[in-house]
Chains A and B, each alone.
Chain A
Amino acid sequence: MIEHIELFFKSIFIDNMVFAVFLGMCSYLAVSKKVSTAVGLGAAVIFVLAITVPLNWLLDQYLLQPGALSWLGEEFADYDLGFLSFIMFIATIATMVQLVEIIVEKFSPSLYNSLGIFLPLIAVNCAILGGSLFMQSREIETFGLAVNYGISSGIGWFLAILAIASIREKIRYSNVPGPLRGLGITFIVTGLMGIGFLSFGGMLTGGDEAPKEASQVNETIKIENLEPVIEEEKEIVTITKSEN
């Protein structure tokens, strides 16, 4: 249970899809001019992520991982179809988005019209494919955790686009210098929000995890934390030696 809560808050605040790893920036920048469309797109992203991440988890678990095919028979246990991940993931995503488009058009034509071209564009939104790829590279262990990850990373993206849309609506009435107007100031404001979100880095138990782009960064931080301890031990050894 605790790992579910941990993953939930970690995906929303620390590994936020927009501020920590910059996924989904294109539609984030294009749709954030009005809060109402931003909310609609954010909700659609949460929905698509919540469906595609668990689906791709199943694909990864039973088809793509090294040794995953052993349920077919012993002779298949050596197969590693990992290189097919990209094509399989994007295929499920494109299919699910097409399905979502059909459902939205049927049940809420007004939302369908206001989202326009951006609904099919969710298929190529880096956030969706990124969610699945991070699920694979971080080796999420259970189906429940995969669902959790899909929903929480979607919520993180939703939070980001809601915040920037609200700020952009207000900024229209401020005195932004000409060359910065529109795109430039949005980049800088997003950067400042990212700096703000960095403050969540100390939230987890242990406190030595930092927002990271690749697991390598985390490992180097852990190694650096070990060094002062070794130096203290050396001091104790030298002091005891001089006493003798």
Chain B
Amino acid sequence: MGLLSKKDAKLITDPLADNNPITIQVLGICSALAITAELKASLVMGIAVLFVLGIGNVVISLIRNIIPSKIRIIVQLIVVASLVIIVDQVLKAFAYELSKTLSVFVGLIITNCIIMGRFEAFALGNGPWRAFLDGVGNALGYAVILLVVGFFRELLGSGTLFGIPVLGDPIEKTGLYSIGYENNGFMLMPPMALIIVGLIIWVQRSRNKALIED
């Protein structure tokens, strides 16, 4: 890669698999599970976190040498809260229906552990460009899990993807529904998201034995 050195490229690829913020670092679980009943909501949430984490990491990295250590949590909270307010207002202005579905979970990005976790672990000790890459990488790792969970929940729960019916029409009984297939409405309920993430963790750790706990 000409643009990024090998070390920098790792900042983006690591969180996508081996250092995934949700399944390995165990951060950012809250909002990951609650809104994944629709793929569209998962995608928008992923983009929102990308925006907040990318820009937040850069801002914190730029001011890291002037923040007194005692109040750094408060400074971080203010930076995140301001960015999230921007995201929330933009969503309410341009995608009102979606902002109603996401309801309080946009605000909860503030307490999303990934953001504070990456500020503390990376942005406070690295330069702005690398902090930006780290933010982008972790946000993408988070978005990947959200999209996978959202994919299965929406497909199996309502037979649609991004709102487009892909298995046929359940009322007209075309496509897959003609042989008696029914939507598994249970997939749209919150606990199934937990079980799907548990299964993702199972798959991930089977492929990489080093991640198994004892």
Interface residues of A (CB under 8 A from B): 19-26, 29-30, 83-87, 90-91, 94, 120, 123-126, 128-130, 133-134, 137, 177-188, 190-195, 198, 211, 213-216
Contacts and interface: CB of A to CB of B under 8 A. Distances in A.
A108 B57 CA distance: 37
B107 A133 contact: yes
B197 A23 contact: no
Given A26-B30, A181-B212, A187-B198, A126 B111 contact: yes
Given A86-B110, A87-B85, A188-B199, 19 more contacts: A19-B190, A21-B190, A22-B33, A22-B193, A83-B85, A85-B107, A86-B107, A129-B107, A134-B104, A179-B204, A179-B205, A188-B194, A192-B191, A193-B191, A195-B191, A198-B189, A213-B34, A213-B35, A214-B101
Interface residues on chain B, size class: 35 or more
Contacts of B33: 22, 25
Contact of A94 (B74, B206, B212): B74
Given A120-B73, A188-B194, A191-B192, A86 B104 contact: no
Contacts of A194: 189-191, 194
Contact of B104 (A90, A120, A137, A195): A137
A124 B29 contact: no
B34 A179 contact: no
Contacts of A21: 34, 190
Given A86-B84, A87-B82, A181 B103 contact: no
A186 B213 CA distance: 12
B67 interface: no
